[in-house]
């Protein structure tokens, strides 16, 4: 049967390469809609866990994995020879920056090399990793053609950016409209039909480059607006005005304003990274990305600004940061998730340690700090008790997990620096609270 017919009848086998925060939920949507799936990952531990019906991501319950396994429509494997069993292959591998803040496409090129040894004619291959315009066509396609097969003729390629927002209670993979672009009409029709089976709305665009650029625009928009409120925070702080009060008032305007919130710095796998994919590519066209650079400059400086507030707060107590005991609350990059990637908490801890503070942290979802690409901060989450809280010279709120009892924390801490406006509703604080 033709691939289009197989997709419409849900008889196509879907291979997902990279079973992380993006690939795993996407694969499960296909299973839940009756597709046979194969999950590919180079990490044997993940493969084994999934095949045992266990999750390794906090907001994806073991139960859901177990149910998906029981359907017999899903198997995880590290055997890429099984790529040929897939009709459609979705690539969801990481796209970080290297130490020069340039795109590191190693995971995409490695995947391409592996696939080129196993693909067969008639397959649809869709890249989902966030990247600069041109990656699908200029980087992935030529590698896949090492197979001897010709793209746009023997096999089909498309790009569809991921908009996953882990643990967002209002949206999930299925309910977030999905953009898809391809450079020939048949690939676009195949890819659109595929996502139409599992996702509420598929939005086709005219090329893979347009789809790649769409993702970057979305994340650059966030980065620039976060930088804007971070700058507002610093200015208003100097003026003695509470930026959160101002944002909450501004957002009552029913049009022309969208609330973004300041914080201790950018975090996560996307916003601090993706914009610089465009910066790098723009150089080829002799163009500068001034908004991106400026936003990067302001957002990168936020942890230093926060630490200055900590130093001022300690100074007011007659203490220096050197030798003070500081407890950082939250190691995840945003509330209620267990993902520490690019979390500003690590930068905060690093600066504190560099300046001679004695640092501990607490995060209910991250019992031990994993080794990070950029930071060498280690330790185990300390328990929050009246005694432990009271023993620190300063408690620094970096991530405002819902699990934190702010009344309790403020009752027992001595000095609390709050970068998230987490303590807004606290009535009976013994701690001196400084917003930062
Ligand atoms: N996490 C998010 O919220 C999010 C949101 C939107 C877009 N994205 C983008 O989606 C992509 C994937 O991100 P993620 O958060 O799922 O990453 P992740 O690190 O959680 O998962 C990636 C997985 O790919 C596997 N992998 C690496 N190289 C591989 C290879 N050669 N073959 C097979 N598997 C391989 C890793 O073992 C890992 O399990 C990135 O481009 C990211 O920018 C992520």
The answer to whether residue 259 sits within a structural domain is no
CB within 8 A of 408, min separation 6: which ones?
384
168 vs 389, higher pLDDT: 389
pLDDT on residue 1 = 63
Point out the ligand 1 atom lying closest to the alpha carbon of residue 270.
43
370 pLDDT higher than 70: yes
pLDDT on residue 342 = 85
- For residues 119 and 128, the answer to whether their CB atoms sit within 8 Å is no
> Which of 205, 229, 254 is where one domain is finished?
205
129 alpha carbon – ligand 1 mean position (Å): 7
81 alpha carbon – ligand 1 mean position (Å): 20
Point out the ligand 1 atom lying closest to the alpha carbon of residue 110.
31
pLDDT on residue 258 = 97
374 pLDDT higher than 70: no
Q: Which of 15, 16, 20 to mutate to test the pocket of ligand 1 (most atoms within 8 A of CB)?
A: 20
Can you tell me whether residue 419 is helix, strand or coil?
Answer: coil
pLDDT on residue 168 = 87
The answer to whether residue 257 sits within a structural domain is no
* Both tokens assigned to 29: 């949507």
Sheet with strand 88-91: strands edge to edge: 74-77, 36-40, 13-17, 88-91, 124-127, 156-159, 178-181, 202-205
- Domain check: are 191 and 48 in the same one? yes
Q: What is the mean pLDDT of residues 81-100?
A: 96
180 alpha carbon – ligand 1 mean position (Å): 18
- Domain check: are 47 and 185 in the same one? yes
- Domain check: are 87 and 10 in the same one? yes
> Which of 205, 239, 263 is where one domain is finished?
205
> Which of 205, 226, 243 is where one domain is finished?
205
Point out the ligand 1 atom lying closest to the alpha carbon of residue 131.
41
20 lines ligand 1 (CB under 6 A): yes
The answer to whether 88 is a known catalytic residue is no
- The CATH number of the domain where 327 resides is what? 3.40.50.720
Q: What are the pLDDT digits (tens) for 14-28? A: 999 999 999 999 999
pLDDT on residue 235 = 98
pLDDT on residue 249 = 98
pLDDT on residue 371 = 76
128 alpha carbon – ligand 1 mean position (Å): 9
The answer to whether residue 178 sits within a structural domain is yes
In angstroms, rounded to a whole number, what is the distance separating the alpha carbons of residues 289 and 281? 10
Average pLDDT for the chain: 96
The answer to whether residue 282 sits within a structural domain is yes
The answer to whether residue 220 sits within a structural domain is no
- For residues 190 and 7, the answer to whether their CB atoms sit within 8 Å is yes
In angstroms, rounded to a whole number, what is the distance separating the alpha carbons of residues 259 and 221? 12
Main-chain dihedrals φ then ψ at residue 429, nearest 5 degrees: -90, 130
Question: Which runs of consecutive H residues, i.e. helices, occur in 151-289?
Answer: 185-196, 208-239, 243-250, 274-284
Q: What is the mean pLDDT of residues 110-126?
A: 98
Strands annotated E in 236-355: 325-329
* Both tokens assigned to 326: 């500081």
- For residues 206 and 187, the answer to whether their CB atoms sit within 8 Å is no
pLDDT on residue 347 = 94
129 lines ligand 1 (CB under 6 A): yes
Place of tokens 């999934």: 50
The total of other beta-carbon atoms located within 10 Å of residue 423's CB is 21
pLDDT level of residue 268 (50, 70, 90 thresholds): confident
| Closest residue to atom 37 of ligand 1, CA basis | 43
The total of other beta-carbon atoms located within 10 Å of residue 387's CB is 9
133 alpha carbon – ligand 1 mean position (Å): 18
| pLDDT-wise least confident of 60-64, 143-147, 260-264, 309-313 | 60-64
pLDDT on residue 99 = 85
Q: Which of 17, 1, 14 is closest to 191 using CA atoms?
A: 14
pLDDT on residue 378 = 72
- For residues 319 and 355, the answer to whether their CB atoms sit within 8 Å is no
Main-chain dihedrals φ then ψ at residue 23, nearest 5 degrees: -65, -40
pTM: 0.93
Q: What is the mean pLDDT of residues 85-89?
A: 98
Q: Which of 19, 21, 211 to mutate to test the pocket of ligand 1 (most atoms within 8 A of CB)?
A: 21
Burial of 70 (0-12, 13-18, 19+ CB in 10 A): exposed
- Domain check: are 293 and 410 in the same one? yes
Percent of the chain's residues with pLDDT above 70: 99
- Domain check: are 297 and 176 in the same one? no
Main-chain dihedrals φ then ψ at residue 92, nearest 5 degrees: -130, 55
Q: What is the mean pLDDT of residues 403-412?
A: 98
pLDDT on residue 134 = 98
- Domain check: are 197 and 103 in the same one? yes
* Both tokens assigned to 67: 């149910």
24 lines ligand 1 (CB under 6 A): no
Q: What is the DSSP letter of 84?
A: G
40 pLDDT higher than 80: yes
294 lines ligand 1 (CB under 6 A): no
Domain hosting 107: range is 3-205
pLDDT on residue 368 = 93
Give the count of domains, the chain: 2
pLDDT on residue 375 = 63
| pLDDT-wise least confident of 30-39, 141-150, 339-348, 416-425 | 339-348
In angstroms, rounded to a whole number, what is the distance separating the alpha carbons of residues 22 and 25? 6
């Amino acid at each position: 049967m033709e691939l289009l017919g197989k997709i419409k009848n849900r008889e196509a086998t879907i291979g997902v390469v990279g079973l992380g925060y993006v690939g795993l939920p996407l694969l499960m949507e296909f299973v839940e809609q009756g597709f046979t799936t194969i999950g590919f990952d180079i990490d044997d531990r993940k493969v084994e866990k999934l095949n045992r019906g266990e999750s390794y991501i906090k907001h994806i319950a073991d139960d859901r994995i177990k149910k998906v396994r029981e359907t017999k429509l899903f198997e995880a494997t590290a055997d890429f020879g099984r790529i040929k069993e897939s009709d459609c292959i979705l690539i969801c591998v990481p796209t970080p920056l290297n130490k020069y803040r340039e795109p590191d496409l190693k995971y995409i090129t490695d995947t391409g090399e592996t696939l080129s040894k196993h693909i067969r004619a008639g397959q649809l291959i869709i890249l989902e990793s966030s990247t600069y315009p041109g990656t699908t066509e200029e980087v992935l396609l030529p590698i896949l053609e090492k197979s001897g097969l010709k793209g746009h003729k023997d096999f089909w390629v498309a790009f569809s950016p991921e908009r996953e927002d882990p643990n967002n209670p209002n949206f999930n993979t299925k309910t977030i409209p999905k953009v898809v672009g391809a450079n020939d009409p048949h690939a676009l029709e195949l890819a659109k039909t595929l996502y139409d089976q599992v996702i509420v709305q598929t939005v086709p665009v005219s090329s893979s480059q347009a789809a790649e650029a769409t993702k970057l625009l979305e994340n650059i928009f966030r980065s620039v607006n976060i930088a804007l409120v971070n700058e507002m925070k610093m200015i208003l702080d100097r003026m003695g005005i509470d930026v959160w009060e101002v944002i909450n008032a501004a957002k009552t305007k029913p049009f022309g304003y969208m609330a973004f919130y300041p914080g201790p710095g950018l975090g996560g796998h996307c916003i601090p990274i993706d914009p610089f994919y465009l910066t790098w590519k723009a150089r080829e066209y002799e163009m500068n990305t001034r908004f991106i650079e400026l936003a990067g400059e302001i957002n990168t400086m936020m942890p230093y600004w926060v630490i200055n507030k900590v130093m001022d707060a300690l100074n007011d107590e007659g203490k220096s940061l050197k030798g003070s005991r500081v407890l950082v609350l939250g190691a995840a990059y945003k509330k209620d998730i267990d993902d520490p990637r690019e979390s500003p908490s690590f930068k905060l801890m690093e600066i504190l340690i560099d300046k001679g503070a004695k640092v501990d942290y607490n995060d209910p979802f991250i019992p031990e700090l994993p080794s990070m690409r950029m930071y060498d901060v280690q330790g185990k989450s300390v328990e929050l008790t009246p005694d432990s809280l009271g023993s620190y010279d300063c408690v620094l709120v970096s991530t405002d997990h819902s699990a934190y009892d702010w009344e309790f924390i403020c009752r027992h801490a001595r000095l609390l620096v709050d970068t998230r406006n987490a303590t807004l509703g606290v009535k009976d604080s013994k701690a001196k609270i400084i917003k930062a």
